[in-house]
Chains A and B, each alone.
Chain A
Amino acid sequence: MVELFDKIQEAVHAVRTQWDVSPKVGIILGTGLGGFAQEIDVEASLDYEAIPHFPRSTVAGHRGRLLCGRLEGVPILAMEGRFHLYEGYTPKQITLPVRVMRALGADTLIVSNACGGMNPYFREGDIMVIEDHINLMGANPLIGINDERLGPRFPDMSEAYDRKLIARALRVAHRADITAHQGVFVAVSGPCLETRAEYRFLRMIGADVVGMSTVPEVIVAAHCGMRVLGISTITDMCLPDALHPADLNTILAVANAAEPKLRTIVRGVLAEEANA
Chain B
Amino acid sequence: MPSAASVRVSESAASIRQVWPTTPKIGLILGTGLSQAADRMKVEQSLPFQRIAHFASATALSHAGRVVCGELAGIKTIAMAGRCHLYEGYSYDQVTLPVRVMRALGAEILIVSNASGGLNPGYRGGDIMVMTDHLNFMFGVHRPAGLFSRSAPPSEKCPADTRCAEDPDRPDAWMAPTNSDVRCGWCYDSELIDVSLAIARRDGFRAHRGAYVAVTGPNYETRAEYRMFRRIGGDAVGMSTVPEVLTAASLGMRVLGLSMVTNVALPDSPEKVDPQDVVEWAARAEPHLCRIVEGVAGHLMPDSGKLRLRPS
A157 near B220 (CB under 8 angstroms)?
yes
Please pick, from A134, A143, A205, A206, the residue contacting B216 in the complex, using a CB distance under 8 A: A143
Q: Does B305 contact A (CB under 8 A)?
A: no
Q: Does B11 contact A (CB under 8 A)?
A: no
CB distance from A174 to the nearest CB of B (A): 24
CB distance from B3 to the nearest CB of A (A): 25
A140 near B217 (CB under 8 angstroms)?
yes
Instruction: Give chain A residues whose Cβ lies under 8 Å from the Cβ of B152.
Output: 3
Size category of the B interface is: 35 or more
Instruction: Give chain B residues whose Cβ lies under 8 Å from the Cβ of A93.
Output: 151
Size category of the A interface is: 35 or more
CA distance A184 to B267 in the complex (A): 13
CA distance A70 to B59 in the complex (A): 43
Q: Does A142 contact B (CB under 8 A)?
A: yes
A155 near B220 (CB under 8 angstroms)?
yes
CA distance A206 to B227 in the complex (A): 8
A184 near B224 (CB under 8 angstroms)?
yes
Ordered by A's residue number, 5 sampled pairs between the chains whose C-beta atoms are within 8 Å are A142-B217, A158-B273, A159-B272, A205-B227, A206-B231
Q: Does A9 contact B (CB under 8 A)?
A: no
Residues of A near any B CB (own CB < 8 A)? 3, 88-90, 92-93, 132-135, 137-140, 142-146, 152-160, 184, 189, 204-207, 219, 222-223
CB distance from B222 to the nearest CB of A (A): 5
Instruction: Give chain A residues whose Cβ lies under 8 Å from the Cβ of B61.
Output: 153
CB distance from B242 to the nearest CB of A (A): 15
Interface centre among A143, A152, A159 (most CB of B within 10 A): A143
Which residues of B109-162 have CB atoms within 8 Å of chain A's CB atoms? 139-141, 147-149, 151-152, 155, 157
Which residues of B141-187 have CB atoms within 8 Å of chain A's CB atoms? 141, 147-149, 151-152, 155, 157
Instruction: Give chain A residues whose Cβ lies under 8 Å from the Cβ of B227.
Output: 205-206
B148 near A88 (CB under 8 angstroms)?
yes
A138 near B270 (CB under 8 angstroms)?
no
CB distance from A250 to the nearest CB of B (A): 28
B89 near A145 (CB under 8 angstroms)?
yes
Q: Which residue of A lies closest to B278 (CB)?
A: A154
Instruction: Give chain A residues whose Cβ lies under 8 Å from the Cβ of B204.
Output: none
Instruction: Give chain B residues whose Cβ lies under 8 Å from the Cβ of A88.
Output: 147-149
Please pick, from A135, A153, A159, the residue contacting B225 in the complex, using a CB distance under 8 A: A135
Instruction: Give chain A residues whose Cβ lies under 8 Å from the Cβ of B219.
Output: 140, 142, 154-157, 219, 222-223
- Whether A132 touches B223, Cβ cut-off 8 Å, given contacts A88-B147, A93-B151, A140-B217, is yes
| Residue interface mask B263-288, A partner, CB < 8 A = 1 | 00000001111010000000000000
A153 near B86 (CB under 8 angstroms)?
no
Q: Does B1 contact A (CB under 8 A)?
A: no
| Residue interface mask B194-233, A partner, CB < 8 A = 1 | 0000000000000000000000111111111101100110
Instruction: Give chain A residues whose Cβ lies under 8 Å from the Cβ of B147.
Output: 88
